[in-house]
Structure 1
Amino acid sequence: MEAFLVSTGLVALGEMGDKTQLLAMLLAARFKRPALIVLGILVATLANHALAGALGAMVAQALGPQLLRWIIGLGFLAMAVWMLVPDKADDEGVEGSARRMGVFATTVIAFFLAEMGDKTQIATVALAARFEGALVAVVAGTTLGMLIANVPAVYLGHRFASRIPMRWVHGVSALIFALLGLATLLWA
């Protein structure tokens, strides 16, 4: 229980004001599908933190910090370009499974990439090492901490979405991903 509670508290506090909160608000403003975005955050965080807890140190060592940095940085730049591509579903008002899958997949990819090399992922590796044998409790705790920090941001973004022009949301999203990509590539 200690591993779960410590992991939850550390990550919830550590994520306050983090880039993922801004990302959550931007995704909610762009797609206006808060439930799918929250589900995407949950899936991405579970996948990312499970990998971090179980394999994080091994993967970083096998790839080396330079290659890992390039993969993450280029991934952010790709997301920046993707954010600038107009979404036909937004323009046409199309409702359906293709759009829902797009919102979910975009959220999963964006959050998974945003957490790569982030302090939360590093904390998950450290917590899993500290609480050896409690991997499930650590991953559950860090995931809950992420949700505590980001779910309110999703609903705030969704609430104010009608007041924000979509072109601005696309542009700001692209800018943030581009800055994250450049920061990752330029600063070790």
Structure 2
Amino acid sequence: MAETWAAFLVSFGVIFVAELGDKSQLMAMTFATRYKVWQVVVGITAATTVVHLASVGIGAGLGEALPTGWINIVAAVAFFGFAAWTLRGDSLTEDEQQKARRATGSAVIAVGAAFFLAELGDKTMLATVTLATQYDWVGVWIGSTIGMVAADMLAIVVGRILGQRLPERVVRYGAATLFALFGVALLVEGIVEVV
């Protein structure tokens, strides 16, 4: 049980930070201007639950197949990549903005489908895969899902109450720094195990 809680806490923190400033937050804010907040949250939660379940499946399989030291080194490189990706920033393309505005049918299905597709191959999905190679998959799945939903809810609330986004530059640098720190910790741990 302690391993599951540790996996939950680490995954929640990593994915919450990864989601800050991500295009998914921008999508959540956009959908929240068109649909009821509860519909957006349910759609995000459903999509995230499915994507992150697949992610932990992939990560747990890799974790069983590869030596731990090398996994840590690869994971460190991945986290350095996430830091660089976060520094680059994310924004919605004009096409993605149009899709968010034109979504028809059930709001929950529209939001869920959009988030599902947006998250495939996104840094939060890749971070979840990486975490599942290191930690208990159940804790990673629950923590990463709740972390992402919490970050998107924060964006909705901040966007609706303040009518503006979080200071993008501060969020981007803070998130990138945390990713880099996770990367350094994993790299040191991996090198110690390999050597």
Q: What's the TM-score once normalised by structure 1's chain length?
A: 0.59
Contact 2:12 2:143 in 1 (8 A): yes
Q: Which of 131, 149, 152 does residue 151 from structure 2 map onto? A: 149
Contact 2:15 2:124 in 1 (8 A): yes
Shift of 1:55: 3.6
Shift of 1:11: 0.6
User: In structure 2, what residue type is equivalent to 1:137?
Assistant: G
Gap runs ≥5 in structure 2: 62-92, 164-195
Shift of 1:136: 1.2
Q: Share of identical aligned residues, percent?
A: 38
1:48 equivalent to 2:17? Answer: no
Change (3 A) 1:85 1:39: closer
User: In structure 2, what residue type is equivalent to 1:109?
Assistant: A
RMSD: 2.8
Other-structure match for 2:26: 22
Change (3 A) 1:83 1:116: same
Task: Count matched residues.
Answer: 128
Per-residue CA deviation, residues 59-82 of structure 1 (Å, 9 max, x unaligned), is: xxxxxxxxxxxxxxxxx9986664
User: In structure 2, what residue type is equivalent to 1:54?
Assistant: G
Contact 1:49 1:143 in 2 (8 A): yes
User: In structure 2, what residue type is equivalent to 1:10?
Assistant: V
Shift of 1:147: 1.7
For 1:103-122, what aligned pairs fall within 5 Å after superposition? 103-122=107-126
Q: What's the TM-score once normalised by structure 2's chain length?
A: 0.57
1:36 equivalent to 2:39? Answer: yes
Shift of 1:14: 1.2
Contact 1:5 1:141 in 2 (8 A): yes
Shift of 1:129: 0.9
Change (3 A) 1:148 1:85: closer
Aligned counterparts of 2:101 and 2:95: Cα–Cα separation in 1: 10
Gap runs ≥5 in structure 1: 59-75, 88-97, 162-188
Shift of 1:144: 1.2
Per-residue CA deviation, residues 23-76 of structure 1 (Å, 9 max, x unaligned), is: 100000122x10111111111110000011114798xxxxxxxxxxxxxxxxx9
Change (3 A) 1:34 1:7: same
